[in-house]
């Protein structure tokens, strides 16, 4: 049985939210739903229909995302959902294939998403392209190394986030280009970041902020909530939940972390969604006491392999013939030569014998600079025909700092 795919009209928002609520077990406050509707690009939102009933959906945001060496328009895939009554009937496959064809028609070479279930998206050519850490740190364990960077010109200022929104936006915009995976935030996204109604707080208290600044302006900020608590003996046992910490330089970064970790009446700090190479690990005098959990973050799909590979920078020279396997986007399948280095890249079809044969998802995983090409080779999930070719390709596609998006879309 087939289910026709067509755009979802704005007037069909109630039907779309019903699919999302059923698929994700999500019941937002009406105001939260209104914010999400305001962000939705209905010309990029498609649905699968069973008669007049919307039974599945997929959407995308038009993102400007940093990649190694520059910035690209990227399709930020979101709201992929199917009613429980219509699972395993081809709805998801139809939605994903239709969406990828649309992304290609729009001239976007790359799609990215946060996976609700990691087992799903590899089937459609997405590869795990970045990781994130969640930190758990007790206040008594938070001493820094003696050499931690300090700048006497820096000072802290406690502020209400809404009162300094323009400062936060300006600083963040100055940092986006520094790390692959980050994307420019429009006004509507900042509305969500700074949202602070009771239903946004989830029992963790109001959104708070501290700035690190000097006479020249703001050099960093932290956004967090404080959940106050006392133990049975009347001792403070509060928890600080860090939402964001952004800084333009190491001294501002370290000072903001000290402010967070030394806050009165706090016994522990929880910080989810931090980059895999977060320098906090290096700053701690005893990093063993930091409890860090790792999880996948961005998943990336090369929609046009040749254009995507030619549109990023490379850490080292490489000249390799890649044979790509891609049964979802057949225009990508076949052999191409990638000749690349720090000064640029060229990629296009050839008839030469391949050095490497790999699924398109493997290239997606490596695209932002933190791929697992070597691990995939050892696992037998790609094939190397010329000894050393995978190592050379992995070295060329690597990047520092490691990719990190930092905000779910």
Return binding residues for acetyl-CoA.
80-82, 88-93, 116-117
User: Cα(259)–Cα(271) distance, rounded to whole angstroms?
Assistant: 14
Give the pairing of strands 5-7 and 46-50: antiparallel
CA atoms within 13 A on the CB side of 330: 0
Residue linked to tokens 């949202």: 195
Q: Report which DSSP code applies to 266.
A: E
Closest alpha carbon to 48 in 39, 57, 40, 35: 57
Q: What burial class does residue 239 get, using C-beta atoms within 10 Å of its C-beta: 0-12 exposed, 13-18 middle, 19+ buried?
A: middle
As beta bridge partners, residue 223 has 209, 244
Edge-to-edge strands, sheet with 318-325: 344-349, 334-341, 318-325, 356-359, 383-384
Q: Known binding site: residues?
A: 80-82, 88-93, 116-117
Q: Which residues are catalytic?
A: 121, 409
Kindly calculate the radius of gyration of the chain based on its CA atoms and give it in whole angstroms: 23
CB 3 within 8 A of CB 86: yes
CA distances from 134 to 116, 276, 384 (A): 17, 9, 35
- 324-329's contacts with Cβ under 8 Å and 24+ in sequence apart are 324/358, 324/359, 324/360, 324/363, 325/357, 325/358, 325/359, 325/360, 326/125, 326/359, 326/360, 328/96, 328/97, 328/100, 328/123, 328/124, 328/125, 328/360, 329/100, 329/101, 329/104, 329/125, 329/303, 329/360
The set of residues, in sequence order, having a beta carbon less than 8 Å from that of 286 and lying 6+ positions away, is 141, 143
**Token pair belonging to 90:** 């081809």
- In the block, tokens 């005893």 appear at 286
């Amino acid at each position: 049985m087939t289910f026709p795919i067509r755009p979802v009209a704005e007037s069909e928002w109630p039907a779309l939210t019903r699919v999302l609520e059923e698929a994700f077990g999500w019941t937002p406050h009406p105001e939260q739903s209104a914010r999400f509707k305001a962000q939705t690009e209905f010309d990029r939102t498609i649905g699968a229909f069973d008669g007049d009933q919307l039974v599945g959906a997929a959407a995308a945001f038009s993102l400007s995302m940093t990649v190694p060496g520059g910035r690209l328009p990227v399709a930020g895939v979101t709201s992929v959902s199917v009613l429980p009554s219509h699972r395993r009937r081809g709805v998801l496959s139809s939605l994903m294939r239709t969406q990828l064809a649309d992304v290609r028609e729009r001239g976007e070479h790359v799609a990215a998403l946060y996976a609700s279930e990691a087992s799903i998206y590899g089937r459609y050519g997405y590869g795990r392209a970045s990781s994130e850490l969640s930190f758990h740190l007790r206040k008594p364990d938070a001493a820094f190394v003696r050499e931690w960077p300090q700048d006497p010109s820096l000072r802290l200022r406690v502020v209400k986030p809404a009162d300094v929104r323009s400062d936060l936006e300006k600083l963040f915009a100055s940092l986006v280009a520094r790390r692959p995976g980050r994307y420019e935030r429009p006004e509507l996204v900042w509305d969500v970041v700074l949202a602070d109604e009771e239903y946004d707080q989830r029992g963790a208290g109001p959104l708070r902020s501290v700035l690190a600044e000097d006479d020249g302006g703001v050099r960093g900020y932290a956004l967090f909530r404080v959940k106050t608590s006392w133990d049975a003996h009347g001792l403070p046992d509060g928890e600080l939940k860090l939402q964001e910490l952004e800084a333009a330089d190491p001294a501002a970064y370290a000072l903001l972390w000290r402010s967070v970790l030394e806050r009165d009446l706090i016994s522990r700090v929880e910080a989810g969604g931090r980059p895999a190479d977060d320098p906090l690990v290096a700053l701690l005098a005893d990093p063993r006491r930091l409890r860090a959990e790792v999880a996948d973050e961005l998943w990336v799909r090369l929609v046009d392999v040749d254009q995507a590979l030619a549109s990023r920078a490379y850490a080292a020279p490489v000249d390799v013939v890649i044979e790509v396997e891609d049964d979802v986007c057949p225009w990508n399948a076949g052999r191409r030569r990638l000749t690349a280095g720090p000064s640029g890249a060229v990629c296009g079809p050839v008839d030469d014998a391949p050095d490497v044969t790999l699924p398109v998802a493997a290239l997606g995983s490596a695209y932002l600079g933190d791929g697992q090409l070597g691990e995939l080779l050892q696992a037998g999930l790609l094939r190397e025909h010329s000894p050393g070719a995978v190592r050379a390709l992995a070295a060329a596609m690597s990047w520092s700092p490691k990719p990190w998006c930092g905000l779910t879309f």
